[in-house]
Structure 1
């Protein structure tokens, strides 16, 4: 899967149709060709909304809920999503660049053809989510929970994983070889089918040994 380069706003095929968001947020709402430029959405209730061919520039989502909303062909640059509920949302052909997601509840979400460029994901709950053709490029994933998630064609080039969790995950063609660091807090035994490099195998060896109960001991008492 080819990794597309980050795009500028003017490069979007629908850029000339974008209209500024004037608010307020509706529930449910339909937002087609809308530009959320610097919008601050605090405690917004946008559940079951549809966002299509829309752009988000330096917008802030703080708290609030967009549960069961759909995001089709959306572009997000410099966006902060903090303490927001994105559970059961659907994302198709989305691009996040230089964004922050912290304390986000995105369990049971569906992401397909989504790219994260230079983003920070901190304490993001993706339990039970479905990720297909998703790429994390030069990202930091800290305390991200993939427990029970189905991951297909997922890659992490240049990204750092810290205390990631994969209990009961279902990986298919997951490629971790280009990740700069693999900090896995739980679920090593559920990563069968994922691909790692030889150096990464050596780095994970102590944790793998602990997982299967293997005792590693060099000193002998004769």
Structure 2
């Protein structure tokens, strides 16, 4: 599903460093490609109607980042501080967010497609109409979240932590996991396969199922 309202042909070439030149720390209408933007330090940067391709943000501190109508392709956000970010109509394709911290972020109409989010801190999120498609979320922390119209499709979520998060209307039947970290009280309304249900029943309800 497409969310970002971006026409790449209408954008001009730019660099992430331009965000420092604007009084409001804003970058708009740009295509940024093949850039090393590691270890940046900026609070409340605003990026609108932009495309980033093969940009490396590793270990950057981008707290309170605001993104609207932005597409990221093959970008690296590993170990980034993205706490309290606001993401509205944003798409990530083949991006790396291993160990990234998005605690307290607001996500609305966001797509993560073939992304690596292992060990990511995805806590205290307010999530609306967001999709994780063919992503890795192994050992990620996905706790204390408010999930509305959130989809996980064909993802590896082994050992994903889901504490203090209602799983009602969440469908994990296409996902892969041997174990999850959660509370039995949050299982009501969760959709899983028969095999997954047996595993969860054994782990959290002490029920043994014979076949």
Which residue of structure 2 aligns with residue 193 of structure 1?
168
CA distance in 2, matches of 1:105, 1:72: 19
TM-score, normalization: structure 2? 0.78
CA distance in 1, matches of 2:76, 2:138: 16
CA distance in 2, matches of 1:53, 1:198: 39
Q: Give runs of aligned pairs for residues 68-217 of structure 1, distance below 5 A.
A: 68-176=44-152, 178-188=153-163, 190-198=165-173, 200=175, 201=192, 202-203=195-196, 206=199, 210=203, 213-217=204-208
Which residue of structure 1 aligns with residue 8 of structure 2?
12
SS at match of 1:13: helix
Mind listing any 5+ residue stretches in structure 2 that lack a counterpart? 176-191
SS at match of 2:137: strand
8 A Cα contact 2:44 2:65, kept in partner: yes
Question: What is the CA-CA distance between 1:205 and the residue it aligns to?
Answer: 5.6
More strand per residue: 1 or 2? 1
Question: What is the CA-CA distance between 1:54 and the residue it aligns to?
Answer: 1.3
Aligned alpha-carbon RMSD (Å):
2.9
Which residue of structure 2 aligns with residue 29 of structure 1?
21
Question: What is the CA-CA distance between 1:208 and the residue it aligns to?
Answer: 6.9
SS at match of 2:57: strand
SS at match of 1:30: coil
CA distance in 2, matches of 1:209, 1:189: 20
Per-residue CA deviation, residues 194-221 of structure 1 (Å, 9 max, x unaligned), is 52143542447645754xx4224579xx
TM-score, normalization: structure 1? 0.75
Question: What is the CA-CA distance between 1:183 and the residue it aligns to?
Answer: 2.5
**Closer, same or farther: CA 194–143 of 1 in aligned 2, 3 Å:** farther
Q: Give 1 or 2 for the bigger CA radius of gyration.
A: 1
Comparing 90-99 with 192-201, greater Cα deviation is found at: 192-201
Question: What is the CA-CA distance between 1:131 and the residue it aligns to?
Answer: 0.4
